[in-house]
Structure 1
Amino acid sequence: MQTEDFADVLAANDDYAKHFDLAGLQPVAARGLAVVTCMDSRIEPLEMLGLKPGDAKIMRNAGARVTADVLRTLALATHLLGVTRIMVVAHTRCKMASATAEEVNAAILDSSGIDVRSLDFQLVADQRATLAADVQKIRSWPFLSPGAPVGGFVYDVDTGRLSQVA
């Protein structure tokens, strides 16, 4: 690793630090919200929900999947960090919901020469059914407060609209 590999973001951080005003922000979710969403760069979780830093806990991964790590994080967030409601937000035109395992494996092999067939990318054949199953996984997980609202949503990357589907 060489410093010049990250020169652009380090320079941007210097500018950010000069105007940094989040010191003293409490680590709790001020609006009681946790959002599980995709890592897709077209999603701006705070902006799309009218939130600001400190309002919510945001968890991102490929496909907005409710994994063991997401459940672990939600346990901490609900018991220690003020989270009282949870949104799972998938999105339109998601690569994880439109590609087969063979296509993903082949693309990675072609671009890097690395065989990733042993990895489970948790691809999604039916986005709405998977979203409903992931929401139910959270609702039925015994380490969260019973009755906490959990909703499943789809974000349209072409319009910016969010719709509840589960």
Structure 2
Amino acid sequence: MTDAFDDLLSANRHFAENFSLSGFDGVARAGVAVVTCMDSRIDPMGMIGLSPGDAKIFRNPGGRVTDAALEALILGVHLLNVGRILVVPHTRCAMASSTLEELRERVGDSAGQDASWQHFGVVEDQRAALDEDVQRVKSHPLIPGHIAVGGFLYDVDTGLLEPVV
């Protein structure tokens, strides 16, 4: 192992000194699941006033309800106490402000090789995609109708959630 992780391992030791989730069963104590973007400007728990152990969080580029996100939501609903699902993309998202060609070019330049074959889930219309994602969750046969599903746009400059769907 290299020194590249020393600072993080040190921080982890400090974190573990006051670790309070030992023995916790892993259910979502607040009954919440959030699908959001991997963007580091987003604090999924903090933005809705929750703490570790309260919610299930699934993150990916663009905050889309992918097959993997849907799998996590189904498991959350049936096995982990999830009764409310928030789908939360955000403002100034690279996935919604770049074309597929632009992302491939930028990644290719960074990698020093052709990236024209790589798929990236570019979002052309963020609000339409959010509506589609919420409907995908609501209409899934393994997501019961009593589960609350909402689509929100997170503003990375104000920290506010805007209800959209």
TM-score (norm 1): 0.95
Paired-residue identity, %: 53
Number of residues of Structure 1 aligned to a counterpart in Structure 2: 165
Question: For 1:156 and 1:20, how far apart are their aligned partners in 2?
Answer: 31
The answer to whether the Cα contact below 8 Å between 2:37 and 2:88 also exists between their aligned partners in 1 is yes
Aligned position for 2:39:
40
Question: For 2:154 and 2:16, how far apart are their aligned partners in 1?
Answer: 32
Which aligned pairs between 1:73-152 and structure 2 lie closer than 5 A?
A: 73-152=72-151
> Which residue identity lines up with residue 83 of structure 1 in the other structure?
V
Question: For 1:86 and 1:120, how far apart are their aligned partners in 2?
Answer: 27
Aligned position for 2:16:
17
Question: For 1:143 and 1:119, how far apart are their aligned partners in 2?
Answer: 31
> Which residue identity lines up with residue 90 of structure 2 in the other structure?
H
C-alpha displacement of 1:146: 2.3
> Which residue identity lines up with residue 138 of structure 2 in the other structure?
R
Answer yes or no: is 1:6 the counterpart of 2:8: no
Question: For 1:114 and 1:87, how far apart are their aligned partners in 2?
Answer: 37
C-alpha displacement of 1:114: 3.4
Question: For 1:89 and 1:150, how far apart are their aligned partners in 2?
Answer: 11
Secondary structure of the equivalent of 1:16?
helix
Question: For 2:75 and 2:156, how far apart are their aligned partners in 1?
Answer: 30
Unaligned 5+ residue runs, structure 1? none
The answer to whether the Cα contact below 8 Å between 2:104 and 2:118 also exists between their aligned partners in 1 is no
Question: For 1:72 and 1:29, how far apart are their aligned partners in 2?
Answer: 16
C-alpha displacement of 1:116: 2.8
Question: For 2:64 and 2:153, how far apart are their aligned partners in 1?
Answer: 13
Question: For 1:82 and 1:161, how far apart are their aligned partners in 2?
Answer: 26
Question: For 2:162 and 2:147, how far apart are their aligned partners in 1?
Answer: 20
Question: For 1:52 and 1:114, how far apart are their aligned partners in 2?
Answer: 42
The answer to whether the Cα contact below 8 Å between 1:26 and 1:54 also exists between their aligned partners in 2 is no
CA RMSD across the alignment: 1.1
Unaligned 5+ residue runs, structure 2? none
